[in-house]
Structure 1
């Protein structure tokens, strides 16, 4: 008699993207309500099914800030266990250049506003930062960490290798 098939639980981290958008010594940030508290983050969010990482970063930045940006580099890939929900997060952080702003565009649910802040102002937020990945990605960018965007491949469904 054959063994009955077992369901194997496969670990899956939350895949997220974020953009470090610098203009002079200021960085584009969002103020958002999360679990009843006001926190600060870069424009960031989850990768949608069927979406490339680059497309997700552009979409999330536009939806959360009203800014259209141009990706310049991949800053890094960071793993972290969220203190918010306890799950593992794998975050792809991009450097981007601000291209244009639509101040009339409605922002995503939960986003109070987009604002520009210096690194010192961001660091002073302390526990009000959504995660330690905010400063980690800014500091990596300030430290010169730049990876080419073509380091990330994307094959749409059915695409050839």
Structure 2
């Protein structure tokens, strides 16, 4: 029996405050990069739950998803991996200053789109800026686009 190819199911949180976006500075592949709070879907959790969990783990902020700005497929041919990302837009509150961040996360920080665009070589993937640009262009899909079937 052969293995069935599967993409990596991931989520990301797009959070803007005062023209800045909540980002994480992290180590990935031995490099320091910027990414949205993002990560893989865990067993037995919804995509919304994954976005809330990942944001808390990586930034110490509680994420409140409001809508979806896009669903992205990134074929990373150099590593023969494919990522399927659902990007959620929302706000955050309840910052837990003393909470330790996930392994590999250096810090959470707020950056403008211009600051990110000036450092494209430091973005974890091309999805980072694309998600922000889609958000800024006003793309919105309701959360009920997603359906969990038990």
TM-score of the pair, normalised by structure 2: 0.96
- Which of residues 113, 136, 139 in structure 2 aligns to 1:119? 113
List structure 1 runs of 4+ shifted beyond 6 angstroms: none
- C-alpha deviation, 1:84, in angstroms: 7.0
- Give 1 or 2 for the bigger CA radius of gyration: 1
Work out the CA distance in 2 between the residues paired with 1:104 and 1:140.
Answer: 33
- C-alpha deviation, 1:9, in angstroms: 2.7
- Conserved 8 A contact 1:69-1:99: yes
Work out the CA distance in 2 between the residues paired with 1:18 and 1:80.
Answer: 13
CA RMSD of aligned residues (A): 1.2
- C-alpha deviation, 1:50, in angstroms: 1.2
Q: What is the SS of the residue equivalent to 2:58?
A: helix
- Conserved 8 A contact 1:82-1:131: no
Are positions 1:128 and 2:122 aligned together? yes
- C-alpha deviation, 1:8, in angstroms: 3.4
- C-alpha deviation, 1:124, in angstroms: 1.0
Which string of whole-angstrom CA distances, capped at 9 and with x for unpartnered residues, describes residues 71-126 of structure 1? Answer: 01011100002367430100000001012211110000000000000000011111
Are positions 1:67 and 2:65 aligned together? no
Equivalent residue, structure 1, for 2:94: 100
TM-score of the pair, normalised by structure 1: 0.90
Equivalent residue, structure 2, for 1:48: 42
